[in-house]
Amino acid sequence: NTIVKFVFMNGKGNYNKSSVVNKIDSYIKDSKKIDKDTVCSVLYVFDKDSSDTSHDDENFNRSVVDFCNRNGYLLIWMNKNIEEAYWKQEVNHKQKVAMAGRFKKTNEITKEDVATLSVPEANRRYTSNVLLELDKVLDRKK
């Protein structure tokens, strides 16, 4: 069985805050209580933002990589952001919820280009490494 739990950071700058880390640790501890052999994987998801042109974004992303490496967490990147990784376009902030709803309702995930969602470190715009990281912990449906 696979159980997915979400921890919302309420801002990406909170990724290493004790409230976020404690919630993750609590989920892992609770899972191990049920079955000591449970394999728990933690996946962080981040937008790359403007790391190619912004020194601040580049430094932030480097800090995230270091944090995830130290803690054994997997790291999913969306470049430049999730909308660009999936829809290959910038999306007005006001349109994001409507577009996400349409994406889900019309099952657009099945039409996604596997290659652009399988780019290590997602260093090119309109790409992600989401499938590479998910493949480490889940089996794809055939």
Q: How much is the average pLDDT of 76-81?
A: 94
The larger pLDDT score, comparing residue 128 to residue 141, is at 128
Nearest to 71 by CA among 60, 63, 83, 59: 63
Residue 88 has pLDDT above 80, yes or no: yes
Tell me: the pLDDT tens digits for 12-54? 999 999 999 999 999 999 999 998 899 999 999 999 988 778 8
Q: How much is the average pLDDT of 59-86?
A: 95
Q: What is the pLDDT of residue 132?
A: 96
Residue 71 has pLDDT above 80, yes or no: yes
CB 121 within 8 A of CB 76: no
CB 66 within 8 A of CB 98: no
